[in-house]
């Protein structure tokens, strides 16, 4: 399989110059099929309709949103490696917020070497994870389940203004009280709020 398996990338960027630099770097890293979109809205539509993308690079801010929420959505809904570029003075704050979701933050102005290294790292992590999931279907269901539960947690945090620990406890408690799995509870929460 090697690198050829890892060759679909999406660049989300409203800035033409950065897009060209990013494209050149990821092409050098073996990505053959690269789609470019200019806005978060367009990216969200593509993530819904496209077949699996291997790498998503988001150059924040976008024309219609900052880009952090898009990165988080992509992390929940795809198995792509995700890199979020943003201005260096906020990069650390943004990284604090998104690193738990497995999103790599790279400061701008673009440092070619750093971006190249990050692309390699993200690709290696992803192939390792996909390798694991092929060997281990239970792990895949666990990862899916974690994704579902995390989505349910963010839903509770958004609509009921819960903190993360409160959302976590709420799901645990519901599972115990209703004798359902956490996965079933999560699906019910999502069905309730995410129309």
89 with 160, same domain: the answer is no
Peptide bond into 109 cis (omega under 30): yes
User: What range does the domain containing 62 cover?
Assistant: 2-135
Question: Residue 16: CB partners within 8 Å, gap ≥ 6?
Answer: none
Element (H, E) at 192: helix 182-193
Residue 6, CA distances (Å) to 54, 56, 193 in order: 6, 12, 35
pLDDT of residue 2: 44
pLDDT of residue 63: 93
184 with 127, same domain: the answer is no
pLDDT in tens, the chain (195 residues): 444 455 899 999 999 999 999 999 999 999 989 999 999 999 999 988 766 789 999 999 999 999 999 999 999 888 899 999 999 999 999 999 998 888 999 999 999 999 999 999 998 888 877 777 677 777 778 778 888 898 899 899 988 999 888 999 999 999 999 898 998 999 999 888 876
Beta strands 103-108 and 81-87: pairing type?
parallel
CATH of the domain at 89: 3.40.50.2300
CATH of the domain at 152: 1.10.10.10
Cα–Cα distance measured from residue 189 to residue 55, given in angstroms and rounded to the nearest whole number: 29
110 with 176, same domain: the answer is no
- CA–CA–CA angle 162, 166, 167 (5° rounding): 70
112, 135, 158 - which closes a domain:
135
135, 155, 179 - which closes a domain:
135
As a dihedral over the C-alpha atoms of residue 69, residue 57, residue 74, residue 36, rounded to 10 degrees, the angle is: 100
122 with 153, same domain: the answer is no
135, 154, 174 - which closes a domain:
135
Q: How many domains does the chain have?
A: 2
46 with 109, same domain: the answer is yes
- pTM of the prediction? 0.68
72 with 11, same domain: the answer is yes
| Nearest CA-CA partner of 106 in 166, 194, 22 | 22
């Amino acid at each position: 399989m090697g690198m050829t398996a890892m060759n679909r990338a999406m660049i989300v960027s409203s800035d033409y110059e950065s897009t060209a630099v990013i494209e050149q770097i990821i092409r050098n890293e073996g990505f053959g099929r690269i789609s470019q979109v200019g806005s978060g809205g367009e990216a969200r539509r593509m993530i819904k309709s496209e077949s699996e993308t291997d790498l998503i690079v988001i150059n924040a801010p976008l024309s219609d949103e900052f880009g952090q929420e898009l990165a988080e959505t992509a992390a929940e809904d795809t198995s792509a490696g995700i890199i979020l570029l943003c201005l260096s003075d906020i990069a650390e704050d943004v990284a604090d917020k998104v690193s738990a979701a497995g999103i790599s933050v790279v400061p701008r102005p673009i440092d070619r070497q750093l971006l190249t290294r990050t692309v390699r790292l993200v690709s290696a992590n992803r192939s390792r994870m996909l390798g694991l999931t092929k060997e281990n279907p239970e792990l895949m269901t666990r990862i899916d389940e974690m994704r579902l539960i995390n989505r349910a947690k963010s839903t509770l945090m958004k609509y009921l203004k819960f903190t993360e620990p409160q959302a976590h406890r709420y799901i645990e408690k519901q599972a115990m009280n209703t004798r359902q799995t956490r996965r079933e509870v999560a699906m019910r929460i999502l069905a309730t709020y995410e129309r």
